[in-house]
Amino acid sequence: MRKFDYNTVEEAAKQVYIKALTDLPPDVRGALKRAYERESQPPAREIFKAMFKAIEIADRKKTLVCQDTGLPIYMVKIGSDFPWNGAEIKKRLSKGASRATLEFPFRGSSTHILTRINPQDSVGRGLPVIYWDFVEGSDSLEMLMVPKGSGSENMSTMKMFIPADGKAALKKFVLDAFVASGSNPCPPGIIGVGIGGTADLVMRLAKEAIARPVGERSQQPLIAQMEQELEDAINATGIGPMGLGGDISTLAVHIEWAYTHITQNPVAVNTQCWPARRARAIIHPSGDIEYGF
Ligand code: SF4
């Protein structure tokens, strides 16, 4: 049993980035297999076979499922009883992402917004993206890595509707956004939808929505119903795998939500591509690390 120190955080941050890029979660593998079985169009079935081949090669060679290693995003939950120093954890997450990139090694995708100079290690000002949350009664630190490639992230969109526009406007916005994104986000992936909150919170909710295991329905019946309605509408578009036509255009629609202002009705879409990459580490006070998805 190892003892907790900040090297543990750095090591876990490195390993979850590599794991997310090389090892798809079982729920994603299962969802792709079920999608293939439901797909009736022969060209679309061939695309699924190419995806299975990419997964098989990644498994066999312990390499990347997709060449776009994305930007690193850590969703961190810190237990109220976990002995921690937030500033040090932040520093170690960045070092872990950098070391993963340089030591695996894989392509660093971060760049300066104006000079376009790439430091080659996936980090830089504002990166990695870190979401912080706190859990009452827990003594562990959980980090979920969700690397985001540009094909899907570039299709992100949000809009501030007004309450009079109602639920119908939110659904139409999501559907229009999906149709407009076409093949760019490498469908069929998870369509993450945020509703409620503020302009910034609603996009974070959409991003959190793509991080749920595929098809895990919202606990709220009204939200779960909206997820199903959107999923059916998106699959009815016929856009299909890689945007080339077929029965399956999305593996799942997930919605995360928050209360909003009485005069607001915000919605955001953050699409995840077919590999729906994510990996999780739970660090216990002893320093033991559990890896999973
Ligand atoms: S959208 Fe996803 S699957 Fe497509 S190239 Fe980017 S990371 Fe790869």
What's the rounded mean pLDDT across residues 102-112? 97
With a pLDDT cut of 70, the percent of the chain lying above it is 99
Nearest atom in ligand 1 to 68's CA = 7
Residue 117, exposed/middle/buried by CB under 10 A (0-12, 13-18, 19+)? exposed
Per-residue pLDDT, 1: 54
Which of 24, 152, 184 should be mutated for ligand 1, with most atoms under 8 A from CB? Answer: 152
**Is 178 within the bounds of a domain?**
yes
Ligand 1 contact, 186 CB (< 6 A): yes
Q: Are 123 and 222 in contact (CB under 8 A)?
A: no
DSSP secondary structure letter of residue 39: -
For residue range 75-99, what is the model confidence (pLDDT) as tens digits?
999 999 998 899 999 999 999 999 9
The reply to whether ligand 1 has any atom less than 6 angstroms from the CB of 151 is yes
CA of 68 to the centre of ligand 1 (A): 6
Q: Answer whether 24's CB lies under 8 Å from 275's CB.
A: yes
Per the structure, the complete domain to which residue 240 belongs is given by: 150-271
The best mutation among 150, 186, 242 to test binding of ligand 1, ranked by most ligand atoms within 8 Å of the C-beta, falls on: 186
- Whether ligand 1 lies within 6 angstroms of the CB of 152 is answered as yes
Tell me the average pLDDT across 41-61. 98
Same domain, residue pair 12 and 115: yes
Share of the chain above pLDDT 90, in %: 96
Query: Does residue 138 lie in a domain region?
Result: yes
pTM above 0.75, yes or no: yes
What is the average pLDDT value for the chain, to the nearest integer?
A: 97
* 8-35 pLDDT, tens digit each: 999 999 999 999 999 999 999 999 999 9
Per-residue pLDDT of 201-243, as tens digits, reads 999 999 999 999 999 999 999 999 999 999 999 999 999 999 9
CATH number at residue 95: 3.30.1330
The verdict on 207 and 283 lying in the same domain is no
Confirm whether 43 is domain-assigned: no
Q: Is 185 a pocket residue for ligand 1 (Cβ < 6 Å)?
A: yes
Given the CA of residue 148, which atom of ligand 1 is nearest to it? 7
Count structural domains, the chain. 2
CB within 8 Å of 204: residues ≥ 6 apart:
131, 194, 197
3-state secondary structure of 88: helix
- pLDDT tens digit sequence for 137-185: 999 999 999 999 999 999 999 999 999 999 999 999 999 999 999 999 9
